[in-house]
Amino acid sequence: MNGCSLAQRLDGRTALVTGSTSGIGRAIAIAFAAEGAHVAVSGRDDARGAATVAAIREAGGRADFVRADLGASADAARALAGEGTRALGGRVDVLVNNAGIFPSAPTAEVDQATFDSVIATNVRGPFFLVAALAPSMAERGSGVIINIGSWISTIGLSSGALYGASKGTLEALTRGWAAEFGRSGVRINAIAPGVTLTDGTAHLQDHTRAMVDATPAGRFGTPEDVAAAAVYLASDDASFMHGSTLLIDGGALTTRA
Ligand code: NAP
């Protein structure tokens, strides 16, 4: 991997990927490392974190695990920014705000604990990570932040109002942060994945199969589909991209059969 003679798009960069013990985040961490980045893998689960790091190292890449519970507090996000920076040798070039939870329930059945944990994990964690890391990126005059939104921020789904609102907020923050930090050389964009098969969504497969079958792609998304978009946004190929949300959904939102 790192011995490859082909140019690697993230050679010499460092990247902190939240929620990279599983699913989309894991695929992004592996794809970034394959492109030459030193990756800080993060999540709450030590065993799955170690497994992601081992997979990257076995392929010849560089990775370290930094444990964090982003649902806990703003301080937990600040601590991850500090520990991630140390693990990466003093600098985070790319931050991916991927960690997220997506409980689905009718509004009248959402209790306060669920409401607070969705907003804490999907919005507060990214907010304080950006607050901790974007200013130093701006001082250096370069950096990339990628927020993982969702197709569900654009359309209403019954039983998905709270989750959709959390992802819509993250996509709105993406535009605000692009305005705030973009002129200092920090590129901030989002990716809105469609239905993507991961550990977290395996139970939704039967429920969404008919909708997915009717899309132009005609299949579920894979974590690697989303990771390919993240590599693009992290790389200099996307140097003209600021404040955008890339829809990677197989055409689910933009077409009808
Ligand atoms: P997943 O397989 O359930 O993985 C979620 C990741 O987030 C795990 O690595 C988990 O790590 C981490 N995480 C959850 N709560 C955390 C917390 N409190 N602190 C730190 N890390 C936490 O989910 P996925 O399907 O890959 O989804 C990844 C992202 O894509 C989410 O933001 C999701 O909303 C978004 N998305 C997914 C889909 C889809 O269809 N899969 C579609 C649109 C958007 P630990 O368990 O180790 O803590």
Per-residue pLDDT tens for 95-132? Answer: 999 999 999 999 999 999 999 999 999 999 999 999 99
Asked whether the predicted pLDDT for residue 4 surpasses 60, the reply is no
Q: Which of 144, 219, 232, 33 is nearest to 246 (CA)?
A: 232
CA of 91 to the centre of ligand 1 (A): 24
Q: Which residue has the tokens 């969404």?
A: 208
C-alpha R_g of the chain: 17
Q: In whole angstroms, what separates CA 94 from the centre of its chain? A: 11
Query: How confident is the prediction for the chain on average, in pLDDT?
Result: 96
Question: Does ligand 1 lie within 6 Å of residue 126's CB atom?
Answer: no
What is the pLDDT averaged over residues 3-19?
A: 88
**Band of the pLDDT at 5, cuts 50, 70, 90?**
low
Residue of the nearest CA to atom 21 in ligand 1? 43
Average pLDDT for 46-50: 98
**Range in 65-74, 175-184, 204-213, 229-238 with the lowest mean pLDDT:** 204-213
**What tokens were used for 47?**
């065993």
Residue among 21, 151, 226 to mutate when testing ligand 1 (max atoms within 8 A of CB): 21
* Whole-number Å distance between alpha carbons of 146 and 138: 15
Looking at the chain, how many residues does it have?
A: 257
Task: Retrieve residue 115's tokens.
Answer: 């409401």
24: CB partners within 8 A, 6+ apart: 98, 148, 193, 196, 198, 223, 226, 227
164 C-beta closer than 6 A to ligand 1 = no
| CB of 21 shorter than 6 A to ligand 1 | yes
CA of 22 to the centre of ligand 1 (A): 7
- Does 232 qualify as catalytic in the annotation? no
| pLDDT higher than 60, residue 2 | no
Instruction: Tell me the average pLDDT across 50-63.
Output: 98
Does residue 200 have its Cβ closer than 6 Å to ligand 1? Answer: yes
Please state whether 109 falls in left (phi above 0), alpha (psi between -120 and 50) or beta. alpha
Mean pLDDT of 64-71: 98
Q: pLDDT band at residue 203, thresholds of 50, 70 and 90?
A: confident
Q: Give the pLDDT of residue 7.
A: 86
- Residues contacting residue 200 through CB under 8 Å, at least 6 positions apart: 22, 23, 102
Nearest-CA residue for atom 36 of ligand 1: 150
Q: What average pLDDT does range 191-211 have in this prediction? A: 92
Q: Is the CB of 166 under 6 A from ligand 1?
A: no
Predicted model pTM: 0.98
